[in-house]
Amino acid sequence: MRSLTFRLSTLILALVAAPSLALTAQGWIEPMHPLPGAGIVRVRSAVQAAVTGRVARVTVEEWFQNRGPGLGEGTYLYPLPGEAVFSSFSLWQGDQELRGETMDAAQARAIYEGIVRRKRDPALIELAGHGLVRARVFPINPGETRKITLRYTQVLDRVGDAWRLRYSAGPDAAPRSIRVVVDSGARFGDPYSPTHQVRTTRRSDQLEITLADSGARGDLELLLPLARGLVGMSLLTHHPGGEDGYFMLLLAPGAARDAAAVHRDLVAVLDISGSMSGEKIEQAKGALVQLLATLREGDRFRLVAFSSSVRRYRSEWTPVSTDARRDAEQWIRSLEAEGGTNIAGALTEAFSAAPAAGTLGVVVFLTDGLPTVGDSDPEHIADGAEHNRGAFRVFAFGIGYDVNTYLLDRLTERARGVTEYVRPGADLEATVGDLASKIASPVLTDLALSAGSGLEVYDVEPEHLPDLFAGDEMVVFGRYRGVGSGEWSIAVRGQRGGHEERFNTTASDRESADARYIEQLWAARKAGSLSQEIRLHGQNPEIMRELRELALRYGILTEYTSYLVQEPGIVAFPGPPVPMSAPRDQAGAGAVAQAQEQARLRSSMSLDAIVVTGTAAKADSAAVNRSLTRGQRVERIGARLFLHKDNVWTDTHHGDSLRVVTVAPFSPAYFALLRALPELVQPAALQPAVLVAGRRVSVKIQEGGLESWREGELAELAKQFRQ
């Protein structure tokens, strides 16, 4: 039985006769004897999963309240995940055990479809094909709240070097909590969720995972990386019919003790111009002391300070020792802020001594100002730095708003580093300390991906893979094509102590509704990269067109696009593309915010951290309001955008040249269609009619359409829709 993959965002069931009372829920109560004015609503849920080995024991508690004047009585229905061990369930209402039954997919489908036909609710069909727990709920008195407890056992999937836990919670309005406790926590690295931001706590040998945002909605997917020595790999794929596939690769490095083979050559560059005086210079000096503290025997360092002129601690590399570190700290503490800002001279000095072969060369650059001394042209400075950088990685920190974001982002763009912007009043020492902790234990450098024979991997994000550090999982997204069988492999190569290391993993090539989030996360990162390319290297028609199409298809909000849809296939832009070599506004609060937003998209790790689908409309409320004032209605479902036109929700990818097949809603043909093309399930919830575009044919769900299929007709339609 396939796993539970429904989206409950559209599961709206009238729990009583009154149609105005609706509830989105994981489990729900189907009324046995609906009374006028009665209403049983779900008010809260709590989920706890105890993981031992590969087995999760799941406890679901749900609270229901009767808000009507009469008795409430009905049947409790709860869809079980496909991995659940059905014989291990128990269902309780308070201290009373409910007499329940479990049903297989065929029985469950019949119940779901019966409810759909009766309630005319197309979303419920998403549950079809899964197991179901059913039990009678004793009468609930008016105003009374009852708790139902469900317990079941679930076997976790294995994905490469990780266990995977899924819980389909649904984005409902009722408060909920999810808590996962893992025994033998030392066996696992830090958990990662591509769907939610999670909080991890280690207590003794236990690992506890909770949602970082208690208000977060949607289905939870959680990966528990197994401790696999140097590097563990987990590959998840999603291959929609008729197009190239998407992949997500999780690299989970081992403990810091396994990373000692890579030594570091560190150059710390500090702005000591007059604008750095006061708290900023003191925090910056404290940050450099932290950096020195992370160095170990075998590492080397150089220190550079700049204002109108450039100073250096020593011209040559200094090997790390107790005495050398103490002397360097005294030099740092003696620095005072004065003069102008000679960024070009500081970068020339930073790159003047190359790192040793087999080491990780790192430049940490801190500044709070614009270049005012020497070469002050940001483009010249960036070009010179790129030419002289060599093998160094560059990590830049822009302090305050009076920094040149164009210059700092150009410094790190291809240098396998990042730029961090520290807003006025923020803790600079803590921000630099986070970087110091991250780069303390390099595991692999100069990473590269390669795929199996005959397979092409492309549009990888990030394009230039950063180095891999202990305790800092890396998540890579990309596209693939050319798979000739049911499985494919991918390899990661990297340098470690002057020697190449190689790691491999495999994954199945299939369409997976569970993994549709991979499309959106890839698209968000791609949009961030394209936006940065435009900002740093100028607009051109090809990149603008690519970003426009990406925004339209995946619902990614950028400063270059909006959701103001005028006609199918057209997205409004703030203004016409204007060729330029560098952005007009390179400094100031607006420039910093723009740079941070692009960085956020490029490093998107979970769905609730990016602006896509439902949250996009909220973020782009101005565009939505403009659309509404023109009488337009727009809906986004997954990677599709629908425009309400002539009383039909029309997919913006539909063209007049595509043949249209119309199917009657809630007919036998309708249910068979959604089983054959499950990607139509969510669009089918759009009322009163919807037109969904395929590759060679479009499907319209509207009254008066087909009610049954001739032999072979549906199979041919599904083929043409996808290929």
pLDDT in tens, 681-695: 878 888 889 999 888
Query: What domains, with CATH codes, occur in the chain?
Result: 8-156+167-211 (2.60.40), 231-257+443-515 (2.60.40.1230), 261-438 (3.40.50.410), 519-627 (no CATH), 646-722 (no CATH)
Mean pLDDT of the chain: 79
Mean pLDDT score, 396-418: 89
The residue type found at 539 is Q
Give the pLDDT of residue 619.
34
Residue 456 burial by Cβ neighbours in a 10 Å radius (0-12, 13-18, 19+): exposed
Q: Which of 11-20, 99-108, 478-487, 667-676 has the highest mean pLDDT?
A: 667-676
> Is residue 616 pLDDT above 50, yes or no?
no
Tell me the C-alpha distance between 625 and 564, whole Å: 9
Strand-pairing partners, residue 271, are 306
Neighbour tally for 390: CB within 10 Å: 10
Give per-residue pLDDT as tens, 439-479.
Answer: 888 888 889 998 877 788 999 999 889 888 887 888 999 99
Backbone φ, ψ for residue 372 (5° rounding): -125, -15
DSSP annotation of 567 reads: S
> Is residue 174 pLDDT above 90, yes or no?
no
Tell me the C-alpha distance between 438 and 471, whole Å: 8
Mean pLDDT score, 150-172: 80
Q: Among 157, 194, 393, 368, which Cα is nearest to 281's?
A: 368
**Percent helix, strand and coil across the chain, each rounded to 5?**
25, 35, 40
Tell me the C-alpha distance between 67 and 65, whole Å: 6
Nearby residues of 410 by Cβ (< 8 Å), 6 or more positions away: 378, 382, 385, 386, 536
Strand-pairing partners, residue 42, are 64
Q: Among 331, 297, 293, 326, which Cα is nearest to 314's?
A: 331
- Farthest CA pair distance, the chain: 87
Give the pLDDT of residue 2.
30
Neighbour tally for 469: CB within 10 Å: 22
Give the pLDDT of residue 143.
86
Answer yes or no: pTM beyond 0.85: no
Give the confidence band of 520 by pLDDT, cuts at 50, 70, 90: confident
Q: Which of 2-11, 209-218, 458-467 has the highest mean pLDDT?
A: 458-467
Nearby residues of 323 by Cβ (< 8 Å), 6 or more positions away: none
Give the confidence band of 12 by pLDDT, cuts at 50, 70, 90: very low
Residue 579 burial by Cβ neighbours in a 10 Å radius (0-12, 13-18, 19+): exposed
The residue type found at 566 is Q
Decide: helix, strand or coil at residue 192.
strand
106: left (phi over 0), alpha (psi -120 to 50) or beta: alpha
Residue tagged 């209402």 (tokens)? 93
Give the pLDDT of residue 578.
45
Give the pLDDT of residue 154.
82
The residue type found at 525 is R
Tell me the C-alpha distance between 116 and 125, whole Å: 7
The tokens describing 385, both together, are 């730095």
Q: b/e map of 23-52 (b: 16 or more CB within 10 Å)?
A: bbbbbbbbbeebbeebbbbbeebbbbbebe
Q: Among 129, 379, 365, which Cα is nearest to 270's?
A: 365
> Is residue 276 pLDDT above 70, yes or no?
yes
Give the confidence band of 361 by pLDDT, cuts at 50, 70, 90: very high
Q: Among 674, 684, 685, which Cα is nearest to 709's?
A: 674
Nearby residues of 379 by Cβ (< 8 Å), 6 or more positions away: 581, 582
DSSP annotation of 695 reads: S
Mean pLDDT score, 183-196: 86
> Is residue 20 pLDDT above 50, yes or no?
no
Q: How far apart, in Å, are the Cα atoms of 340 and each of 352, 369, 376, 584?
A: 22, 9, 11, 23
Residue that wins the pLDDT comparison between 499 and 13: 499
Contact 487, 531 (CB under 8 A): no
Give the confidence band of 414 by pLDDT, cuts at 50, 70, 90: confident
Nearby residues of 251 by Cβ (< 8 Å), 6 or more positions away: 231, 232, 233, 468, 473, 474, 475, 476, 492
Mean pLDDT score, 576-590: 60
Give the pLDDT of residue 83.
57
Contact 110, 77 (CB under 8 A): no
Q: Among 712, 710, 688, 683, which Cα is nearest to 699's?
A: 683
DSSP of 155-168: EPEEETTEEEEEE-
Residue that wins the pLDDT comparison between 672 and 169: 672
Tell me the C-alpha distance between 367 and 396, whole Å: 8
Give the confidence band of 124 by pLDDT, cuts at 50, 70, 90: low
Give the confidence band of 211 by pLDDT, cuts at 50, 70, 90: confident
Give the pLDDT of residue 140.
81
Decide: helix, strand or coil at residue 106.
helix
Residue tagged 């549709």 (tokens)? 516
Tell me the C-alpha distance between 271 and 393, whole Å: 19
Kind of pairing, strands 310-312 and 145-155?
A: unpaired
Q: How far apart, in Å, are the Cα atoms of 132 and each of 114, 146, 166, 178?
A: 14, 21, 17, 21
Tell me the C-alpha distance between 105 and 108, whole Å: 5
Contact 559, 531 (CB under 8 A): yes
Nearby residues of 300 by Cβ (< 8 Å), 6 or more positions away: 263, 264, 265, 266, 317, 318, 319, 320, 356, 359
Give per-residue pLDDT as tens, 284-343.
Answer: 999 999 899 989 889 999 999 999 999 999 989 999 999 999 999 999 999 999 999 999
From 248-252, 264-268, 395-399, 594-598, the region with the lowest mean pLDDT: 594-598
Give the pLDDT of residue 84.
59
Decide: helix, strand or coil at residue 376.
coil
Give the pLDDT of residue 34.
59
Mean pLDDT score, 360-372: 90
From 71-80, 261-270, 428-437, 658-667, the region with the lowest mean pLDDT: 71-80
